[in-house]
C-alpha cells in the first residue's frame, strides 16, 4: 500500500494490496481468538504502512512520525479484526456457486463499509487526519475517481475494498474448484466488474464535459522557495520582501499583461497585515497595475490574538477582505491543553510561543476581475478536508484557492502527497483550484482533478511548478497561466450531503457488529 502514494506512485497496486492481508486474516488457525489475532496482524500492517508513508514527519521531529503512526495503525487493526470475523468469506458449507457468491458479496460489502466508515472517523476524530485515504491512491486514474462528486474520496475507498475482497474470495475458491474439477461461474466477480464498468462510463462522461460559459482569469502564482531557517529570522525579512517584489513586479509592468489575480503562499511575508511597513510595501506593489492580490498573511488583532489568514487586496490595503483559518494544526499552530496542564505549557513555550486563534466564518471571498466570482479560501492542510471545503459552496462561479507552506518537510514526499489529497476537493465540489505553495507544489487544477488545460489537451503540459523531476519541489519560480471557471456551476451531491454515503455504510458495519455480539451472548 505504501507504494501506491508519492514518491513511489505505483497506483495500480491500490486494487490488490488488501488481497494478501485478507487471505492471511481468513486463514487464521485460531477460531476462538480470531478477532485478537486479526487485530494484531492489522496493527502490524498499518504501522508498517504509516511509518513509510509519513516518514517525512521526521523533519519536524522523529517522535512525531513514530507516535502518529502508532495511533493511526489502530484503524487498520480494528478493520482487520472486523474482516477476520464478521467480514470473513467462508465457503465450506456452500456447495453451489450462487451461495458462494452471496457470501463473497456479503463479505465485500461489509468490509468495504467498515473501511470507509473508519476512514471517515479518522477524518474528524481528535481534530481529524484524513491524509492519504485509500481512494487517494487512485489519483492518477482520473476516469475512476470522478465518482467522488457523489460519494467523496472515502466512498471510493469502499469500492476498492469491495473489489479486493471479491478477488481474495476467488483466490481461495478457484484452486479448490480446479482441484475437484468443479469450476463454476462466479456471479460475485461479474457484479464486481459491472460496478467498475459503471464507474468507468461515469468518469468518461464527466471528463468529456466542458462548460458552455466560462470566466477566464489571467493568474500569476509566485513560489518564493523561502527556507524555513530564514522565514522567521528577522535578519532575513528584507530579503523576503525583495524576493516577492522582484518575482512579481516584472510581470505587472509588462505591456498587455493584464493579470487579474496574483497569488502568494501561506504566511508569505514575515510581518502581519497591520504592520506599517508591510502596508506601505503592499500599497506600492498594488499601485503597479489594477489586479487582485490574494496572499497568506498573519493578522494580529488587539485583544483577540493572531490569525493565520488569506487576505484579498485590490488597489490598496485600506479595503481588504480576509478568511481566518478555522481548522488549526495541533502542535503546529496551537498546543492542546496548554492552559489547563502546567507541564504542557512549559514544553509548548519552547516549541510554539503563542497559539494562533481559529476563525469562525466559512464565507467565500468576493472577487471582481475580470468579472464577479467567488474564492473558496483554504489555508495549508484545510484542502484535505472535503467536509470543510463544501461549507463554502454556493451557486455562484467559484474558484478554490489554497495557500500553503510545506517547506517544513524539506525535499520529501510531503508536498506531492499534499497535492494529490487536494485534487479530490476539485472533483468533489466541481470547482477548479489554484494551489500556491512556498516550496511546492504550486499548480492549477481543473474541476475534474487534471493539471492539464482540457481545452488544449496535453499540448501545454502540466500547469505545475517543478524541477527536472515532478517530485523536485524546493524551487523558486513563477507560474503565469489562465484558469477557467464555470459561469453556471452545479452543486454536486457531495457538496449537498457531504460524507453521508460513508457514514451510512459505517453505521451498517457497526450495526452488524452489535448484532453479532448480541447473538453470541
Q: What is the mean pLDDT of residues 35-55?
A: 97
- In degrees and rounded to multiples of 5, residue 341 shows phi and psi of -120, 110
Q: Compute how many other C-beta atoms are within 10 angstroms of the C-beta atom of residue 300.
A: 13
- In degrees and rounded to multiples of 5, residue 458 shows phi and psi of -95, 10
Higher per-residue pLDDT: 354 or 145: 145
pLDDT at 347: 60
Cell of 158: 469502499
Q: Give CATH 3.60.110.10 domain extents, the chain.
A: 214-326+361-488
pLDDT at 332: 84
Mean of all residue pLDDT scores within the chain: 93
State the residue for C-alpha cell 479560501: 377
Tell me the pLDDT tens digit for each residue of 372-420: 999 999 999 999 999 999 999 999 999 999 999 999 898 899 999 999 9
Cell of 156: 471510493
Q: Which of 217, 150, 207, 218 minimizes the C-alpha distance to 398?
A: 217
Cβ atoms of 312 and 292 closer than 8 Å: yes
Cα distances from 115 to residues 52, 133, 425, 503, in angstroms, run 20, 10, 21, 11
Tell me the pLDDT tens digit for each residue of 443-478: 999 999 999 988 777 677 899 998 877 778 889 999
pLDDT at 18: 97
Length of the chain equals 521
Tell me the pLDDT tens digit for each residue of 153-194: 999 999 999 999 999 999 998 888 888 877 888 999 999 999
- In degrees and rounded to multiples of 5, residue 274 shows phi and psi of -90, 5
Q: What is the mean pLDDT of residues 16-37?
A: 92
Residue 343, judged by CB atoms within 10 A of its CB (0-12, 13-18, 19+), counts as exposed
Per cent of the chain over pLDDT 70 is 96
pLDDT at 12: 94
Cell of 224: 518564493
Higher per-residue pLDDT: 184 or 217: 217
Candidates 3.40.309.10, 3.60.110.10, 3.40.50.2000, 3.30.70.890; correct CATH number of 214-326+361-488? 3.60.110.10
Per cent of the chain over pLDDT 90 is 79
Torsion 441-444-450-455 (CA) sign: negative
pLDDT at 424: 98
DSSP tag of 517: H
pLDDT at 214: 96
Amino acid at each position: 500500500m505504501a507504494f501506491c502514494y508519492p514518491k513511489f506512485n505505483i497506483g495500480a497496486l491500490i486494487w490488490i494490496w488488501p488481497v494478501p492481508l485478507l487471505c492471511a486474516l481468513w486463514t487464521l488457525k485460531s477460531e476462538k481468538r480470531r478477532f485478537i489475532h486479526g487485530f494484531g496482524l492489522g496493527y502490524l500492517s498499518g504501522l508498517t504502512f504509516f511509518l513509510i508513508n509519513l516518514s517525512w514527519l521526521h523533519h519536524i521531529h522523529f517522535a512525531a512520525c513514530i507516535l502518529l503512526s502508532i495511533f493511526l495503525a489502530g484503524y487498520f487493526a480494528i478493520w482487520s479484526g472486523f474482516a477476520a470475523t464478521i467480514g470473513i468469506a467462508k465457503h465450506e458449507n456452500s456447495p453451489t456457486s450462487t451461495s458462494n457468491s452471496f457470501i463473497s458479496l456479503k463479505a465485500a460489502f461489509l468490509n468495504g463499509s467498515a473501511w470507509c466508515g473508519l476512514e471517515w472517523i479518522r477524518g474528524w476524530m481528535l481534530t481529524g487526519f484524513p491524509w492519504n485515504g485509500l481512494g487517494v491512491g487512485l489519483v492518477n486514474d482520473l476516469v475512476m475517481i470522478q465518482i467522488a462528486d457523489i460519494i467523496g474520496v472515502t466512498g471510493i475507498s469502499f469500492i476498492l475494498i469491495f473489489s479486493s475482497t471479491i478477488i481474495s474470495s476467488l483466490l481461495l475458491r478457484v484452486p479448490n474448484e480446479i482441484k475437484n474439477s468443479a469450476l463454476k461461474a462466479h456471479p460475485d466477480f461479474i457484479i464486481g466488474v459491472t460496478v467498475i464498468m459503471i464507474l468507468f462510463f461515469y468518469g468518461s462522461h464527466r471528463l468529456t464535459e466542458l462548460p458552455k460559459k466560462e470566466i477566464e482569469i489571467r493568474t500569476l502564482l509566485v513560489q518564493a522557495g523561502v527556507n524555513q531557517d530564514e522565514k522567521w529570522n528577522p535578519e532575513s525579512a528584507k530579503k523576503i520582501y525583495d524576493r516577492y517584489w522582484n518575482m512579481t513586479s516584472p510581470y505587472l509592468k509588462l505591456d498587455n499583461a493584464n493579470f487579474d489575480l496574483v497569488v502568494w503562499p501561506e504566511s508569505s511575508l514575515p510581518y502581519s497585515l497591520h504592520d506599517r511597513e508591510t502596508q506601505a510595501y503592499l500599497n506600492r506593489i498594488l499601485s503597479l497595475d489594477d489586479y487582485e492580490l490574494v496572499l497568506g498573511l498573519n493578522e494580529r488583532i488587539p485583544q483577540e490574538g493572531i490569525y493565520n489568514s488569506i487576505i484579498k487586496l485590490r488597489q490598496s490595503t485600506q479595503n481588504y477582505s480576509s478568511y481566518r483559518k478555522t481548522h488549526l494544526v495541533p502542535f503546529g499552530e496551537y498546543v492542546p491543553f496548554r492552559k489547563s496542564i502546567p507541564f504542557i505549557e512549559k514544553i509548548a513555550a519552547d516549541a510554539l510561543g503563542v497559539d494562533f486563534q481559529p476563525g469562525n466564518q466559512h464565507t467565500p471571498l468576493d472577487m471582481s476581475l475580470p468579472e464577479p466570482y467567488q474564492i473558496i479560501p483554504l489555508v495549508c492542510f484545510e484542502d484535505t478536508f472535503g467536509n470543510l471545503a463544501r461549507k463554502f459552496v454556493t451557486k455562484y462561479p467559484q474558484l478554490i484557492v489554497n495557500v500553503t507552506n510545506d517547506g517544513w518537510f524539506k525535499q520529501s514526499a510531503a508536498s506531492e502527497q499534499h497535492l494529490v489529497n487536494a485534487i479530490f476537493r476539485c472533483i468533489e465540489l466541481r470547482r477548479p483550484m489554484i494551489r500556491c505553495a512556498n516550496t511546492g507544489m504550486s499548480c492549477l487544477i481543473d474541476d475534474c482533478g487534471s493539471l492539464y488545460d482540457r481545452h488544449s489537451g496535453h499540448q501545454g503540459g502540466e500547469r505545475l511548478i517543478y524541477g527536472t523531476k515532478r517530485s523536485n519541489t524546493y524551487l523558486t519560480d513563477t507560474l503565469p497561466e489562465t484558469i477557467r471557471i464555470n459561469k453556471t456551476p452545479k452543486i454536486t451531491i457531495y457538496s449537498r450531503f457531504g460524507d453521508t454515503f460513508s457514514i451510512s455504510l459505517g453505521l451498517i458495519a457497526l450495526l452488524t457488529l452489535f448484532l453479532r455480539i448480541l447473538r453470541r451472548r
